[in-house]
């Protein structure tokens, strides 16, 4: 069991997210912290990482692994990607001053190239 409240986890994740996001940033992406509920961290991969076929691996093998190393070994991370299994709960903890809607997919040159080859 994780010995932190959702509020404590939110601020802990927010503080270490710059350390965790280096790999994602190096691929033209980013990570948005959407909130925490019952010890589950809800993020959204943005930029070129949003919708990438490797986004599940990035979430599990990079983001979750690093958050577990830095905060607590039992953390679970969900990438809110628009699929029914990975949606943001209505009552997720997010400080009132930071409430954001999940970002829409940004179109860029890589998205155009993906469309050509798909």
Tell me how many domains the chain contains: 1
Q: Do the domain assignments include residue 40?
A: yes
Range of the structural domain that residue 110 is part of: 6-117
Q: Do the domain assignments include residue 15?
A: yes
- Written as six digits, the tokens of 70 are 């830095």
Rounded-to-integer distance, Cα 107 and Cα 118, Å: 15
In this prediction, residue 82 carries a pLDDT of 84
Over residues 55-74, the mean pLDDT reads 92
Q: What percent of the chain has pLDDT over 90?
A: 53
pTM of the complete model: 0.79
Q: pLDDT higher for 34 or 108?
A: 34
Q: Do the domain assignments include residue 1?
A: no
Q: Do the domain assignments include residue 55?
A: yes
Q: Do the domain assignments include residue 98?
A: yes
In this prediction, residue 96 carries a pLDDT of 82
CATH of the domain at 17: 3.30.300.130
Q: Sorting pLDDT into bands at 50, 70 and 90, what band is 14? A: very high
- Written as six digits, the tokens of 26 are 């190096």
Rounded-to-integer distance, Cα 80 and Cα 70, Å: 22
In this prediction, residue 114 carries a pLDDT of 61
Contact between 68 and 75 (Cβ < 8 Å): yes
Q: Do the domain assignments include residue 76?
A: yes
Over residues 10-18, the mean pLDDT reads 95
**Residue 84, CA distances (Å) to 6, 16, 79, 88, 116 in order:** 23, 28, 12, 10, 27
Over residues 1-21, the mean pLDDT reads 92
Over residues 83-102, the mean pLDDT reads 81
């Amino acid at each position: 069991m994780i010995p932190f409240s959702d509020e404590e986890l939110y601020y802990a994740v927010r503080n270490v997210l710059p350390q965790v996001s280096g790999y994602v940033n190096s691929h033209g992406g980013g990570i948005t912290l959407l909130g925490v509920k019952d010890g589950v961290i809800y993020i959204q991969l943005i930029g070129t990482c949003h919708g990438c076929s490797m986004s599940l691996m990035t979430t599990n093998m990079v983001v979750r692994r690093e958050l577990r190393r830095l905060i607590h070994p039992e953390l679970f991370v969900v990438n809110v990607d628009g699929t029914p299994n990975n949606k943001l709960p209505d009552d997720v903890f997010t400080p009132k001053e930071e409430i954001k809607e999940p970002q829409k997919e940004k179109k860029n040159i890589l998205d155009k190239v993906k469309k050509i080859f798909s």
